[in-house]
Structure 1
Amino acid sequence: MLMQQKISPFHITVLTYMAQAGMVLFTLPRSLADYFGTNGWLVLIPCFLLSSFNIWLITLVFRLGQGRSVFAILEQSVPKLLLYPFYLLLAGTWLIFGCMIGKKYVLVFQMLSFPSTNPMMFKLAIDVLAFLLLIKGIQGISKAATLFFWMAAWMILLLVWFVPSFRWERFTPFLLKGGHDQVKGAIEVYSAFLGYELSIFLFPYVNKNKKSMLGIYAGNLFLTLNYLGLTLICFGFYSLGQLKKLLYPVLDLLAYIQFPFIERLENLLYGFFLFLILITLVMYWWAAQITAQRMMPKLNMKILLLILISISYLISFIPKTLDQVNVWIMNLGYAVTGIAFGLPMLLILILLVQKKGGASTG
Structure 2
Amino acid sequence: MKSLSLYNRTSTLGGIYFLFLVNRMQMHYFILIMPVYLVHSYMVWAIVVMGLLSQLNLMMMSKWFTSSYAAKGYQGFLQLFGKRAVQIFAILGFLIILLKISIVTLGYVEMLHSFIFPSMDKKWLILMILLISLFVASHGMENTLRFVVIAFLCGAWIVVLFIPFFFQADASYRDLYPLIPTEWSGQSWQGLWFIWSAFSGPVYLAFMVPWLSSNKKISKYLVIGNMLSIMEYILLFVASVLFYGSHYLRKIDFPIGYMGSYIQTSGLERIDYILISFHMFNYVFDISILLLCFYGAGRIFMRKMKERSTRIGLLSSWFVILISIILMDQWLWQTVPGQKMLLNLQIWIGACIYLLIPTILFTAVKRKESM
Displacement, 1:102?
Answer: 0.9
Deviations 1:236-257 (A, max 9, x none): 2332212222222212211212
Shift of 1:110: 1.0
- 1:258 equivalent to 2:272? Answer no
User: Does the 8 Å CA contact 1:74/1:347 hold for their aligned counterparts?
Assistant: no
Which is further off, 84-93 or 121-130?
Answer: 84-93
Asked whether the equivalents of residues 206 and 212 of structure 1 are also in contact (C-alpha less than 8 Å), the reply is: no
**151-160 or 127-136, which deviates more:** 151-160
Q: Secondary structure at the match of 2:25?
A: helix
Change (3 A) 1:301 1:14: farther
> What corresponds to 1:334 in structure 2?
348
Question: Aligned-residue CA RMSD in angstroms?
Answer: 2.4
Q: Does 1:73 align with 2:81?
A: no
Q: 1:126 is matched with which residue: 111, 124, 129?
A: 129
Which is worse superposed, 205-214 or 47-56? 205-214
1:273 is aligned to 279
Alpha-carbon contact 1:98-1:282 (below 8 Å) kept: no
Tell me the distance in 2 between the aligned counterparts of 1:78 and 1:162: 51
Cα 1:339–1:17 change in 2 (3 A) is same
Q: 2:317 aligns with which of 308, 331, 346?
A: 308
- Distance in 2 (alpha carbons) for counterparts of 1:207 and 1:116: 46
| d(CA) in 2 for partners of 1:101, 1:263 | 28
Question: 1:103, 1:356 → 2: CA distance?
Answer: 45
Which residue of structure 2 lines up, in the alignment, with residue 90 of structure 1? 93
1:246 to 244, 247, 252: 252
Stretch of structure 1 that moved more, 302-311 or 63-72: 63-72
Within the candidate set 202, 207, 231, 1:196 is matched to: 202
Does the CA contact (< 8 Å) of 1:170 and 1:235 recur in 2?
Answer: yes
For 1:348 and 1:15, the matched residues in 2 are separated by 20
- Secondary structure in structure 2 of the residue aligned to 1:6: coil
Deviation, structure 1 residue 133: 1.2
| 1:199–1:216 CA contact under 8 A, matched in 2 | no
Distance 1:82 1:8 in 2: 29
2:253 counterpart SS class: coil
Instruction: Provide the C-alpha distance between the structure 2 equivalents of 1:119 and 1:102, rounded to a whole number of angstroms.
Output: 11
Provide closer, same or farther for how the CA distance between residues 284 and 329 of structure 1 changes in structure 2, counting only shifts above 3 A.
Answer: farther
Task: Tell me the CA shift for residue 135 of structure 1.
Answer: 1.9
Count of aligned positions: 353
Render the CA deviation track for 1:103-149: whole Å, top value 9, x for unaligned.
11112211222223211111111111111111222321132221232
* TM-score between the two structures when normalised by the length of structure 2: 0.86
Unmatched runs of 5 consecutive residues or more in structure 1: 358-362
User: Who is 1:46 aligned against?
Assistant: 49
Q: Which residue is equivalent to 2:172?
A: 167
Secondary structure in 1 matching 2:320: helix
In the alignment, does 2:223 pair up with 1:217?
Answer: yes
Give the superposition deviation at 1:204.
1.6
- Looking at structure 1, the residues matched to 184 and 278 of structure 2 have their Cα atoms a distance apart, in angstroms, of 32
- Partners of 1:222 and 1:318 in 2: CA distance: 36
Distance of 1:217 and 1:177 partners within structure 2: 32
Q: Are the structure 2 counterparts of residues 208 and 261 from structure 1 closer, same or farther at C-alpha, using a change threshold of 3 Å?
A: closer
Equivalent position SS for 2:57: helix
Match of 2:4? none
Distance in 2 between residues matched to 1:143 and 1:74, nearest whole Å: 24
Partners of 2:73 and 2:210 within 8 A in 1: no
Give the counterpart letter for 2:194 in structure 1: E
* Partners of 1:9 and 1:213 within 8 A in 2: no
